[in-house]
Structures are given as C-alpha cells and as structure tokens.
Amino acid sequence: MKAIRVTQQGEPEVMRLADIDMPQPGKGEVRVRIQAIGINFIDIYQRSGQYKMSLPYTPGLEAAGVVDALGVDVTTFAVGDAVAYGFTLGAYAEYATVPVDKLVPVPAGVSADHAAALMLQGMTAHYLTHDTWALQAGQTALVHAAAGGTGALIVQMAKICGARVIACVSTPEKAVIAKAAGADEVIFYDGFDTRVRELTSGKGVDVVYESVGKDTFERSLNCLRPRGLMALFGQASGAVPPFDLQILNAKGSLFITRPSLGAYIATRAELERRASDIFGWVASGQLKVNIGGKFVLSDAPAAHRALNGRGTTGKLILKP
C-alpha cells in the first residue's frame, strides 16, 4: 500500500510517498481503509523537529474511512462500518490499524471528508465551549483566529450554546468567513482589546478562546471581565513567555487554563458524547464544516506549506 514516510525531520520535502506492507490488525484493533485524512499543525511540529519523533514514521493523527478487517476479539465494529478516529499516528496512508477505543461510528449524512475534519478540531471546539468554559445564553466569548478550522467551529458551537460571539481575524476576507459562521461582531487585531471593551460597554467578555499565543496573550487578558477565563489552547505566534501571576489579581481575579484535548476525552463515554454531538449537528445542518483545500496523498508537502503559510481558511485534508 501507499503511505507517506518520514525518515528524517525537517522541511516538508522529507515527507515521501512509499510502498509499505499492508498492516494487519492485532487484538482489539481494526484495519481502516482510509478515505480522508485531516491535516493539523501538530503534523508540522512533528515533521519539522519541534516535537521529537521516533524515525521512520508515517505522519497524521486523524482520518475517516471504512472498516476493512477485524482483529481478534473485536465485536463493537463490523467490516463495512463508516468510522473516524484521532490520536493514532499513521493516518497519511491508504490503510491504518486503529485500536477500537479510538474509533467512533460516523452516521449517515456525515461525509468522510467532514468526519476527518472534525476529530481533532471539532472535539477541541466542543470541549472548549462545553466544558473548559461551559457557555450559557447571555454570555459573551472572544474567539481568536475565528476563520480558521478550529476557530470557525468554536464560533458555531458558541452560538449553539446561545452565547454572543466577538470574532477576531486578520483580514477582510477572513472577516466574511467568521461572520458566515455566526459571529455577532467581527474585529481585527489592531487594537482588538480596546474594541472588545467598546463592544461590551467596558465590562469585558466572559471567556477568551486564545489560540494565537505570544502576540496576543497580554491584550487578551485586557478583554476579560473580572473572574473571566482565558483558555489558551494554541500558540500559533509562539509560546507565551514566563508570566507574573500577580497580573491576574490586578486585572480582576482572572483565570487561565492551558487545556489539551486528551484530558477531555479521557474516557470512552466522553469521546462518544462529543462525537455524537458534533456529528449530530453536522447531519442536522446546525454545524457547517469548511473544507479549505484537498490534496492527494503525494502532495502532503504542498499541504504542509499551505497550512504553515497561514493563508488558508477552513480545514485542509488529504485524499489517498
């Protein structure tokens, strides 16, 4: 079968299409014939060397497809089932073996492209809006990078919760996307903290969903109401430098958390609940998934360059 292999970390060109042996599912695993693969920044971090990896390896942490073969003792899935998964390395391939505890069923009405696009970003948007800060009707959220794959999903899920959403974007083109996702107001990064205060009559927002990191961190704190929370779930502009916690006191007893998805799908029940909500909203039309680009498997280097260039909107996927 065909798969992308990385034998050394570095620039996108270290990813090369290769012929490798067909994987065989072990106990508690199934083999998935992959139909769509999600591309994420963590793939870039792993490939580039920001995250150390055991070499060689096949990149990719999320995909959707059809169950092709069953391992020993697998009774919860059958050959032919539509499935999706995340958090299992090796998705940039035609086939992959996946532990059944990582798999979720994909209902009718949800395409493989959409399912693959949601296993990391959709789950992230869900835990942020439903658990890290469980948004309520009448509350206000500031969403950074609101036209991106995760940002646009956060906007939509916040609106499902009944919240008011202020979306922050970098260009007029991205403002159109954030508005289409349901944002009540769309603002730009220049002076965004001042603008948030104006839009909230000086009160500030209940929660900031912060994925930019170093470049916006301190100004994001200025946007919070007393006892508000910042969920710092990404650092697209770089890591936040060491920080004096006394600032949180001075700004009104603020809260900060640095969450990660693994802690929010720690049980099978949590994984299934989030998948059921997300896929249900897609099937009913409440949640729109913006596929920003499709690349064939051999074009994985071009896909990484496109994502890292930060000129894309929506989700990028690979097609085997």
Q: Check: CB of residue 153 under 8 Å from CB of residue 130.
A: no
Q: Which pLDDT score, from 0 to 100, does residue 313 have?
A: 73
Residue pair 2/267 in contact (Cβ under 8 Å)? The answer is: no
User: pLDDT tens digits, residue range 43-96?
Assistant: 998 999 989 999 999 999 999 999 999 999 999 999 999 999 999 999 999 999
**Where are the chain's structural domains?**
2-119+290-319, 124-262
The pTM is what?
Answer: 0.92
Question: Is pLDDT above 80 for 159?
Answer: yes
Mean pLDDT score of the chain, rounded to an integer? 96
Contact criterion met (CB below 8 Å) for 20 and 1: yes
- Position 308 scores a pLDDT of 85
CA distance linking residue 206 with residue 285, whole number of Å: 28
- For β-strands 103-105 and 291-296, DSSP reports them as unpaired
Quick one: average pLDDT of 157-163?
98
CB-CB neighbours of 310 under 10 Å: 13
Pairing of strands 205-210, 224-232: parallel
The number of beta carbons lying within 10 Å of the beta carbon of residue 120 is 22
Q: For Cα atoms 210, 202, 204, give the angle at the middle one, nearest 5 degrees.
A: 25
Greatest C-alpha distance within the chain: 62
Tell me which CATH homologous superfamily contains domain 2-119+290-319: Medium-chain alcohol dehydrogenases, catalytic domain (3.90.180.10)
State percent of the chain over pLDDT 90: 92
Is-cis flag, bond preceding 99, omega within 30?
A: no
Alpha-carbon distance of 54 to 215, in angstroms, equals 32
Q: Where are the alpha helices (DSSP H) in the chain?
A: 41-48, 112-118, 121-127, 149-160, 172-180, 192-199, 217-222, 246-250, 268-284, 300-308
Does 124-262 carry CATH code 3.40.50.720? yes
Q: In which band, very low, low, confident or very high, does the pLDDT at 130 lie, cut at 50, 70 and 90?
A: very high
Structure tokens at 88: 């299992």
pLDDT mean over 262-282 = 96
The reply to whether 2-119+290-319 and 124-262 are identical in fold is no
CA 122 – CA 280 distance, rounded (Å): 12
CA gap 1, 164 in Å, rounded: 48
Q: Are the CB atoms for 47 and 308 separated by under 8 Å? A: no
